Structure 1
Amino acid sequence: MHKKLNPKSMKTENKKMVLRYLIESVPHSRVEIARKTGLAQSAIWRIIEELVNEGLVEEKGTATGRRRKAVTYGPTRSFITSIIYNVEVLETLVAVGFLDGAWRIIERFSTPKDFGEFKQRVTSSYENILKSHVLNKNISKVVFSLPGIVNTESKFLIHAPNLGWRDIDFQKEFGNLDLEVLVENDSNLSLLAEEFFSQDVKESDVAFFLYFGEGIGGAISVNGKIVRGENFAAGEIGHVVLDVESGKEVEEFLSISKLIEKIEKFVELQGETLDEKFRHIKRLWFSGEKNVKETMEEFLQYVAVVLKNIIYFLNPGVIVLGGVVNDLWDTFGSFIKRELEKIIDREIADVLIRDTIFKEISPSLVGGNVLAIEEFLRQIT
């Protein structure tokens, strides 16, 4: 038996639907919103007026109709929805996010190995952001994207091996901040961002995000929900053993850091960040440098093996590649696909594999703002 919504609950759900639609798309007129959502125009007029009065939606311009120009509406940028700390092993990006899903990088700093020093850097940057940005205390959140296993319910970092951080209560450590603190794994946030902005992921019953960085991470989505598992370790493919004899895990073979270490035995790579060094590796690959090509081919063969394991284990509709490197498939997809076809049944191989849509920024940073928006939408009454 289906549970019926009472009129108040139905109004709330309609309000969420309209706001979500505006966040995920460009500004629209009320007539367009009614047509797209299927709600009555009278309901849309009431909802838009309510959202405007609450400071969540504002007039954005006009759209030309058959008879006259219609006012278009979209999410406001009058306050920030999130302050994001996108923590990677080498560098932490600090950004602010907005209700329309956009973001702006404020600063970056080297990630300290000492958590106490990291806490000081966060507190300092947080205070600076407060001086120059408007918050909404009922909506704005502080979000930490972390490369490790995270208990999202208690806001507790269980273990981030590449950082050397373990058993850290983020709620306790940052409880002095005026905003609610949210903590999530970087791979999960990356998939959350794709789920929010990508139609193919939205339409896929099962999706997987393979996160390439200093380590290797993974995230699973089933029917639009991130799967975290009993102990919040679901998707942690980097710790799956790939070589039984040596006990080496996937991370040993697919980590961008470890790939760079191998190649720098032959060639001095240009750049300071992993992304910059990987760009140099691509140039060397295309120039035909022998040692680089051999090392890269071995790396890509392991990528194909891991993709095969994901495909057989989860049978996803979409696999998204990204992280520190966001153009792996665009650059090497033809090679990976050939290797994959050698080791997988053709009937099973019909999976969409692509790079993340976020080319110039870590997708986990985008996901940090999406997490804050989703939390706000969940709390709307």
Structure 2
Amino acid sequence: MENKYIISVDMGGTKMLASVINSNKGIISRAKISTDLDKTPNDYVKDIASLVKTLVDDVGLSNSQIVSVCLGVPGSVNPYTGHIGIAPNLGIKNFNIKNRLEKILPYKVLIENDVNLGALGIKHFGVGKNVKNLLAVFIGTGIGGGVIINGEIYRGSNFVAGEIGHMLVDKNGPKCGCGRKGCFEALASRTAIVNNIIKDVKKEKKKSLLEKQIKANERIKSKALLNAVLKGDKVVINRMKEAAQITGQVLSGIQNLMNFDMIVLGGGVIEAVGKFYLPLIEEEFYKHALYDSSKNLKIVQSKLGDDAAIYGGIALTKEFLGIAV
């Protein structure tokens, strides 16, 4: 009997990453291309089809071995119809990517919000394996959440459940990418942390190890924050502490409402500075969470990294096609 696989594609704002995977062998091959934000949705369709073909050819798979192609989309999607409502970082609006791809690929195409896919990956293949109710939180360029209830992803009435990054924290706060002011994401994402550090250095004239990068208008990534923290950079440490406190407060409110068994933290910031950052989040969290709501809760770091959404494609295939790979 031939081995069956899926191809998971993570459609990121900087890169598109595709992997051939099944639950027995894990990821057996990867391919990626840079995301060109000047392209049209139809161009993205061609890029994805090309990535898929490259992987199939490289691994030497037959069409019958590919059960599905699963897309993780950073935006609002309807997984039943394959329609993308809006994916702002990709410039996609009101586009049915499933229909377009299935016209040029000989495989079933499934789509899901990328954070939901990450939550599914954590539930079925990561630290959430034996957990019934969990919240997956990804902190990076933005902040996203995926909700698992009774072992299943909770999508909400319009498939946008879990958008914790757009919970209101400060109505007079900075403008968020969504257009509103004071969202959680606008106050505690890596983008927010970096913006505050830049403000401290440029306007307040505070000294930081990141000054050269800031003056050169270089992009400051999570690893740069880690290096600054390890070297005792007070500006970076203070801004990260501030963001960690906000994160702990927001998560405590969510826990008081939902009473999860586990909160899993992932994303670029957590991967880079988790050892420093998680204790700060937990300290603030337990100041505000109700005792009975949080007494059995586990707050843990994801171990799957960027692969969480890739593994989530396996669970999505089982849900929509009834096929275990």
Q: Return the match for 2:27 from 103, 109, 126.
A: 103
Q: In the TM superposition, what whole-angstrom CA distance separates every residue of 1:266-309 from its partner, at most 9, and x where no partner exists?
A: 42459xx98x8212211211221121111111111111112112
Q: Return the match for 1:148 from 71, 75, 80.
A: 75
Q: Which amino acid aligns with 2:300?
A: R
Q: CA deviation at 1:142?
A: 0.9
Change (3 A) 1:258 1:109: farther
Distance in 2 (CA, whole Å) between partners of 1:323 and 1:149 is: 19
Q: Which amino acid aligns with 2:311?
A: V
1:89-128 to structure 2, matched below 5 A, reads 89-100=13-24, 102-113=26-37, 114=39, 115-128=41-54
Q: Which residue of 2 aligns with 1:349?
A: 294
1:10-21 to structure 2, matched below 5 A, reads none
Q: CA deviation at 1:153?
A: 0.2
Change (3 A) 1:260 1:108: farther
1:57-96 to structure 2, matched below 5 A, reads 76=3, 79=4, 81-96=5-20
Q: Which residue of 2 aligns with 1:163?
A: 90
SS at match of 1:100: coil
After TM superposition, the score normalised by the length of structure 1 is 0.71
Distance in 1 (CA, whole Å) between partners of 2:307 and 2:190 is: 14
Q: CA RMSD in A?
A: 2.6
Contact 1:269 1:281 in 2 (8 A): no
What number of residue pairs does the alignment pair up?
Answer: 299
Change (3 A) 1:105 1:146: farther
1:233 aligns with 2:179: no
1:223 aligns with 2:154: no
Q: Which residue of 2 aligns with 1:339?
A: 284
Q: Structure 1 stretches of 5 or more lacking a match?
A: 1-53, 56-75
SS at match of 1:309: helix
Distance in 1 (CA, whole Å) between partners of 2:158 and 2:143 is: 19
Change (3 A) 1:368 1:257: farther
Contact 1:208 1:221 in 2 (8 A): yes
Greater C-alpha Rg: 1
SS at match of 1:137: helix
1:210 aligns with 2:144: no
Contact 2:12 2:35 in 1 (8 A): yes
1:185 aligns with 2:113: yes
Change (3 A) 1:282 1:234: same
Distance in 2 (CA, whole Å) between partners of 1:269 and 1:98 is: 41
Q: Which residue of 1 aligns with 2:313?
A: 368
Distance in 2 (CA, whole Å) between partners of 1:92 and 1:178 is: 20
Q: Which residue of 2 aligns with 1:284?
A: 228
Distance in 1 (CA, whole Å) between partners of 2:24 and 2:318 is: 9
Distance in 1 (CA, whole Å) between partners of 2:270 and 2:172 is: 32
Contact 1:101 1:369 in 2 (8 A): no
Distance in 2 (CA, whole Å) between partners of 1:127 and 1:136 is: 10
After TM superposition, the score normalised by the length of structure 2 is 0.82
Q: CA deviation at 1:135?
A: 3.5
Q: Which amino acid aligns with 2:55?
A: I
1:315 aligns with 2:250: no
- Single out whichever of 144-153 and 322-331 deviates more from structure 2: 322-331
Distance in 1 (CA, whole Å) between partners of 2:25 and 2:316 is: 10
- Single out whichever of 339-348 and 315-324 deviates more from structure 2: 339-348
Q: In the TM superposition, what whole-angstrom CA distance separates every residue of 1:234-267 from its partner, at most 9, and x where no partner exists?
A: 1111122111344321121232233234335542
Q: Return the match for 1:358 from 297, 300, 304.
A: 304
Q: In the TM superposition, what whole-angstrom CA distance separates every residue of 1:13-59 from its partner, at most 9, and x where no partner exists?
A: xxxxxxxxxxxxxxxxxxxxxxxxxxxxxxxxxxxxxxxxx43xxxx
Q: In the TM superposition, what whole-angstrom CA distance separates every residue of 1:143-199 from its partner, at most 9, and x where no partner exists?
A: 11111111000011111223332111012221221100010111111111122124x
Contact 2:63 2:106 in 1 (8 A): no
Q: Return the match for 1:299 from 215, 220, 243.
A: 243
